[in-house]
Chains A and B, each alone.
Chain A
C-alpha cells in the first residue's frame, strides 16, 4: 500500500496534473510534484514519470529527460525497490534510462494516434494491477506518436518468461512487438505503459479502465 507519491515534472510534461489528480482521488492524498532540476526526491513509495513531450521530444522522445538531474534520485529509488511508473512519455524515459529494456519507435502507421484501446491483462499479480484480478480485458486510451515497442527476440522471450508483460493490445494500433502495451522490470517494481490510465477514471469523461490501476496502487482490491 502506498502512502505517498511523487510526480516528476519535466519541461514539456503535460499529463502531470492529470496524474496528480488521479492519484489524489484514488490512491493517496500525499502527492508531491517534483521539478526535473531537483536532485532529491521526497521520501515516497511511488514515483510517476507522467506523459507529455518532455523537451519537446527533441533528439528522441524521452532521451533528454532521461539525463535530467532528478533521474539519478529516481534510479536510486527504483534500485531500492521503490515503485516507479512511466506512462507514455514516461515509458519512453524509462527505456532511455535502461530501467526497462527495449525502445519505443515511431508508430507503424507513422501518425500520432489517439484512441480507446482494449487491453488484455497479462499479469494481475503486480502492485500496479492487483485490482484487475479476475478481469481478462480492460480499455484505456492511448495518445502517442512513438509507441511501437521494440526489443530483440531474446529480450521479448525473457519478458514473456518472467511474467513481465503486463498489458497487451487486443488490436495492435502501433506495430508493437508481441502486442506489448506495458511491461515491468525483472524485479517487478518498475512499470512502463503507453496507455493513459489517468484519463480513464471517470465515466463522465469516457472510460473507467484506469480506475483499477490507481486502486491497485492504493492497495485497495476492486
Chain B
C-alpha cells in the first residue's frame, strides 16, 4: 500500500474547504476516513461551484417548463424547440475568478467551456455572447483586465470559428476586486440527435478524448468557491490554459461521432474535470464506473491519481460507448488528430473505483456524491427598502449637457473597441451583431429562413437597490430586447453572480433576486432552461453588486423581418409606447450627472410589460414601423440619440407638459419602446395602442442632423457620435 492510500484527517479536509458536518457525512458514508484521492473527489464535488449547495433550494423557484422546452436545467445546457425538427441548445456560464487572476486565459477558457457544454449535447455552436463587468475606469487594474479579457474572448472564439455577436460591458467600482466574465453560447441541433449525460447500462466502454491531462486548474472549482484575499495572485497556477485549435477539432470530431450510433452518453470535462464528468454520468445512469488512470493521456510525468482526477485541463470529453463501437469511435478522433483512449467501463456496483499502477486508489459509492450532496438553507435577511426619489427634487440642469455626459459615460459609450476584436461574421449567418443597431443579436438558422435573436441583460445598480425589482427587471429587459428585434421570446439561461452566501445580507440579495426573476419569467412565459451560479465574488469582505445576468433567446420566423433601430428616416414620427412617470431613482442620469447612487429602482409592471411587448410584436410584423428601440439606460433621450446615430439622421424630441426635463428625457420607467414610423401611420397606430391598453404618444420627429431636446441647445449628431465613439479607445490607448 502506498502513502496515498493512508487515511486523511479532518484538518486536511478543512484545508480543501470542507466543514465539520460534511466531513462527518463522508465518514458515515464510507465507514472509514477517505484516502487522499477520495478526499479530493469529495471536496470538489461538494464545492459550492459543483454542488450548488447554497443555491439549490432557491433555484427550484424558477419556472423551467413551457411549450417550447425540450430539456430544462440539469443537463449540460438547455434545449428548446425552434420548429422544423430543429432545437436550439444554449447556456451561460461565469469564469470570474480565473479571469481576474489571469485575464487572457481566464476569459478564453470561459468561452471554450461554454461551447463544450453546448456541443456535448449535439449542437453546432453558432453564436457567442458575453456579459462583462469591470471595476472603475480609474482603478489601476481595469485597463489591463479589459485588454486581457477581450483578447482572450476573441482569441478563443475567433480561432474556433464561432461568431461573437453580442454582449454587454459595464464599469463600476463595485467590481474593482472581482470582475465578471460571463460567456453564453447558442447552438443548433436536430431534435432527433440530442445527446444526454446519463450513462445507462453496465459494461459499456468509457472513452477519453481531446487534449492530454496536465496539472493545470487543479482545485479551480474550489478556488471559485471562496473569497479572494491578499494571496489570490498566488493562485495563478490554478487557472487553466486554453487551446482553441484543439477545441475546433474536438467540435468537428464529436459532431461527426454523433452521426453514428456509437454514443450512450457524453459529457465534457469542465469544473472538477474527470471527477465530475465521470461521476455525473454514472450517477444519472444509475451505474458504477471503473477507471484505469494509467490509460489517461497525460501531458506531464508522475501525476498522482488526485492530480489526474482534479485537473481542469481544457478541451477534454468523456464518452460512454455502446459495446463493440470502440474502433469506429476511435478512428474518428484519430482522423482529427486528437488523443483518444479507452480508460474504463461502467459497472453495476454503484461505486467509483479507480486503479493506478496496479493499486486500487479509490472506491466510493457514487450516490452520496451527487444526490446526497450538502444542501444548505443559509440564513438570509430581507434587503433594506430604499425610498423612491422624488424627481421634482432633482435640479434639472441643461439636458443637452447631460446628454453629452451620458453618451460618453463608460457604460453608455460605444464598445466598438471591444467588438471589432471579435469575428462577428464567420459562418456567414450573422444578421445583427454588436454595432448592428439592434437591441438583440440576430443569427440566421443555417440553410433556413428563420433566425434566432439573443440578448444578455442585467442592470446591477437596480438589483443592488432592490434585488427583487432588479431581478424582475433583468428578465423584463431581456424579453424587451428580443421583442424589439422582431423575435418571439422563447426561453432564458441565467448566470447569477453574487458575493459570499454565508453572509445573510448577501444571501438576502440572492433569494430576493431569484424571487423577482421567477415572477417575471412566469408572467412573461419565459422559462429558465439552463444556468450557472457564481458565489463568493468578494474580496476582503467587499462583495460585488448583485448581478443576475439573463441570457434570452427568441425566434424570428422570417429572418427578413428582423427589426433594428437604425432604419428611421427623415420625416418619421417618433412614437413612445409605455407610461412615463419620470423615474430617476437608481438611474444612470442620477449617477453620471448628479453623482448620486441612491433611490429605489423603477418598478416593472409585468402585466403591462407583456401587453406592450405583444403590441410592438404585432406592429413590427404588420410592417408599420421602420425602427424600434427599447428604452433602458439614459431613458428617452439616449434611446432617441442611439436611433439617430444608427439611422444617420437628426432627431427632435418635444419637452413634457407635466414633467421636468431631467425626469422626462432621462427617467428610466420600464416597459417602454420608441418607434420610428411614417407620419401617415401615426393616427391608426395610436388608435391600435389605445385599443390594446398601451400608453402611446408622439414625442418627436426625425429630421436634419441635430439632436434637439425640447428647448435646449441643438447638438450636432456628428459631435455626439464622436464623443460616444471616442471614450473607450481614448481610455484604452491614450493612457
Contacts and interface: CB of A to CB of B under 8 A. Distances in A.
B522 interface: no
Given A52-B161, A56-B243, A199 B444 contact: no
List the 3 closest A-B pairs by CB distance, nearest first: A14-B161, A56-B245, A53-B159
Contacts of B429: 205
A15 B431 contact: no
B394 interface: no
Contact of B245 (A58, A112, A113, A202): A58
Contacts of A114: 158, 419-425
Contact of B426 (A11, A12, A143, A206): A143
Given A18-B426, A53-B159, A56-B244, A205 B420 contact: no
Interface string A7-20: 00001101101100
B297 to A, nearest CB: 18
Contact of A204 (B248, B422, B559): B559
Given A11-B337, A12-B249, A57-B159, A206 B244 contact: no
Interface in B144-177: 151, 154-155, 158-161
A204 B249 contact: no
Contacts of B423: 112, 114, 143
B559 A17 contact: no
A196 interface: yes
Interface in A112-135: 112-115
B427 interface: yes
A93 to B, nearest CB: 15
A21 interface: yes
A88 to B, nearest CB: 10
Nearest to A173: B420
Contacts of B154: 112
Contacts of B421: 111-114
A15 B426 contact: yes
Interface of A: 11-12, 14-15, 17-18, 21-22, 51-53, 55-58, 111-115, 141, 143, 145, 196, 198-199, 201-202, 204-206
B425 A12 contact: no
A205 B425 contact: yes
Contact of A143 (B243, B336, B425): B425
A90 to B, nearest CB: 14
Interface string B118-147: 000000000000000000000000000000
A51 B159 CA distance: 10
Contacts, number: 86
A202 B158 CA distance: 21
Contacts of A111: 151, 420-421
A115 B433 CA distance: 12
Contacts of A14: 159-161, 248, 426
B336 A11 contact: yes
A55 B158 CA distance: 14
Contacts of A145: 158
19 contacts: A11-B245, A11-B336, A12-B245, A12-B249, A15-B161, A18-B426, A52-B161, A53-B158, A53-B161, A55-B245, A111-B151, A111-B421, A112-B423, A114-B158, A114-B425, A115-B420, A196-B425, A201-B428, A205-B444
Interface string B652-675: 000000000000000000000000
Nearest to A202: B428
A18 B159 contact: no
B160 A198 contact: no
Given A12-B249, A198-B428, A112 B244 contact: no
B430 interface: yes
Interface residues of B, number: 31
Nearest to A115: B420
Contact of A113 (B246, B336, B420, B430): B420
A141 B431 CA distance: 14
Given A58-B245, A201-B428, A206-B430, 14 more contacts: A11-B336, A11-B337, A12-B245, A12-B249, A14-B159, A18-B426, A111-B151, A112-B158, A113-B420, A113-B421, A114-B420, A204-B559, A205-B428, A205-B429
Contacts of B155: 112
Contacts of A12: 159, 245, 248-249
Contacts of A113: 420-421
B160 A206 contact: no
B722 interface: no
Interface string B407-424: 000000000000111111
A179 to B, nearest CB: 19
Given A14-B248, A204-B444, A204-B559, A56 B425 contact: no
- B160, B245, B420, B425 — most chain A CB neighbours (10 Å): B425
B560 interface: yes
Interface string B266-293: 0000000000000000000000000000
Contacts of B336: 11
A143 B160 CA distance: 13
Nearest to B155: A112
A184 B431 CA distance: 32
Contacts of A196: 425
A15 B560 CA distance: 24
Nearest to B451: A204
B425 A53 contact: no
A156 B34 CA distance: 71
Most-contacted residue by chain B among A55, A111, A114, A202 (CB, 10 A) = A114
A6 B423 CA distance: 25
Nearest to B159: A53
Interface in B39-74: none
Contacts of A141: 425
Contacts of A52: 161
Tell which of B154, B244, B245, B337 has the most Cβ of chain A within 10 Å: B245
B461 to A, nearest CB: 30
Contacts of B422: 112, 114
Interface in B166-205: none
A112 to B, nearest CB: 5
The winner among A21, A58, A113, A199 for most chain B CB atoms within 10 A is A199
Contacts of B424: 114, 143
Contacts of A11: 245, 248-249, 336-337
A201 B430 CA distance: 12
Interface in B248-265: 248-249
A176 to B, nearest CB: 17
Contact of A53 (B151, B244, B419): B244
A21 B446 CA distance: 11
Nearest to B436: A206
A145 B159 CA distance: 11
Contacts of B420: 111, 113-115
Interface centre among B422, B426, B428 (most CB of A within 10 A): B428
Contacts of A55: 245
A212 B567 CA distance: 26
Given A12-B159, A113-B420, A114-B420, A205 B430 contact: yes
Contacts of B430: 205-206
Nearest to B249: A11
Contacts of A21: 428
Nearest to A14: B161
